Amino acid sequence: MNNKIVLLLIFIILGLLIFFNIQVVTDFAGKYIYPLDDTYIHLSMAKNFAEFQTWGITQYEFSSTTSSPLFTFLLAILIKVFGNWEYLPLVVNSVAGFALILVFNRYLKQFSKATYSVILFSVVLLMPLHLMIMTGMEHVFHTLAMILVLRGFQKYLEDKTPRHFSNLALLSIIAVGFRYESLFFVFFICVYLFFIKKDYVISIALGLFAVTPVVVYGLISIDNASFFLPNSLILKGNTNDGIVGFFTRVAGNAYRGISVLILIIILSIQILRNPKNQNLKISQTLQLTKNAIPLVVFCGFIVHLLFANFGWLIRYEAYLVVIVLFAITPFINEVFNKNATNKILKFGTVFLLLVTLYMRFGTMLEKQKVASKNIFDQQIQLAGFLHQYYRNSKVIANDIGAITYFNNIHLLDTYGLGSIGVAKLRKSDHGKFTDNKALQQYVYDTAKNQNFDVALVFEEWVKMPDYFSKVGTLTIPDNYMAGGKTVSFYSVQKENTQRLRNQLIQFSKQTPKDVIIKIVD
């Protein structure tokens, strides 16, 4: 099949997948709802920065809530130019997704038609690209930036000109700005340049350029009494949890990232295959030269496995799938060559790709709808409740995206993403929900001293003070994506308890039929 026809078919399939999923969600919600509350965190911060020049989850204070500063900043620019529209992430992600396909299209032209088709379809279906677009998160931009970094590295190895180095350095800065995990791969690019190519100055310079976004953002955060790293990395990172805890989380990562591990098998075969050369020294040199990209990708993947996250709508590892596909493209081309004699290797490769397709594309067809339904039933309903009764009030919560984006509330975030005081008390919890007495006291004192109005929280995340009055609960069915299936409503001021009870009774008449609101006597 002609490459142009394949490219057109890819665009049509991607467009149909996006349209179909928008329609599925619109059928039950009346509009498209993102499958993650985190998308609304980006939107909330971008709105506040564009409209109030406050880098925070609310307009009232700085908070290092985003794990992708560059993506949030991009959204802020777009809101400033085009206005506050909740579907800006969907539009810009679509543009980035089509750009990713075009970058691969240009790269794959040097390979056979079979390789072109296999890799291009794999990028769209194994990522899967439509799902990453529709999350409204930074992952498509991050993936695009990482592919451009690896292409820049390839071009620099082919021709060590200042232009190619400057391109590589700029792309590394952009990739790290979108997600800090990019540093894993840039680090091994620097290692390769330092130890294999003996480009000592270039290697160090590239590393210094790459860490620039981390240092600049970190200094701004410290200047605003926050952590050097974003709150999410401090609270969710896989470090400082003891040896047993560390390896437990690594094992969990491996389980959640098994679809990527399957592709890593192909990458490992590519790296370990010896070139047909009898001279051992020459053979080793050829291996290092031929496998520069695969080695960088493999080592970067291992560090991600050890210190970063997998899962949550298979989004954290989505970029890994694509860069592994990029790295194994020469191997795929060799395997699918008409003259290739190793049929076991060919069928084995096809089998592994099909297994990955099932695990990532097949299983997510239904999960995406469920995730958006969960967000609609819980976060969007909570945002609607606050908008109706407490849109400018002081609110205690622990899932904070939609409720801050659609309202102008003052927030106390008991998880810590949006409240640095809480984050400092929880930084040693390592993402777990422990019986943190200091945190409970902090919530008690802050709510009392600052006259908070209402709390909408998952009770299992942190115990509420005894002087709060529990009024009711909101429970959703078939929870897959929300932090918990039941949110509890508390009146912080006892004199307002009956008012909150009446509000919940009235609001329960407006919620979807399968959302259950119960009043506590």
Rounded-to-integer distance, Cα 307 and Cα 318, Å: 16
Q: Which residues partner with 261 through β-bridges?
A: none
Average confidence (pLDDT) per 10 residues, the chain, 521 residues? 94 97 97 98 98 98 97 98 98 98 97 96 98 98 98 96 97 98 98 96 98 98 97 77 82 94 96 63 61 97 95 94 98 84 86 96 92 98 98 96 98 96 88 84 96 96 94 97 96 96 97 96 77
**CA-closest candidate to residue 204, choices 182, 189, 215, 226:** 189
Residue indicated by tokens 């590589």: 168
Instruction: Check residue 287 and give its pLDDT.
Output: 65
464's tokens: 């509420």
CB atoms within 10 A of CB 505: 13
**pTM (two decimals):** 0.96
Whether 196 contacts 288, CB under 8 Å? yes
Rounded-to-integer distance, Cα 150 and Cα 189, Å: 9
Rounded-to-integer distance, Cα 470 and Cα 486, Å: 13
Instruction: Check residue 274 and give its pLDDT.
Output: 62
Instruction: Check residue 179 and give its pLDDT.
Output: 98
190's tokens: 């620097």
Q: What strands, in cross-sheet order, belong to the sheet with 454-457? A: 410-413, 394-397, 454-457, 486-491, 469-475, 516-519
Instruction: Check residue 313 and give its pLDDT.
Output: 92
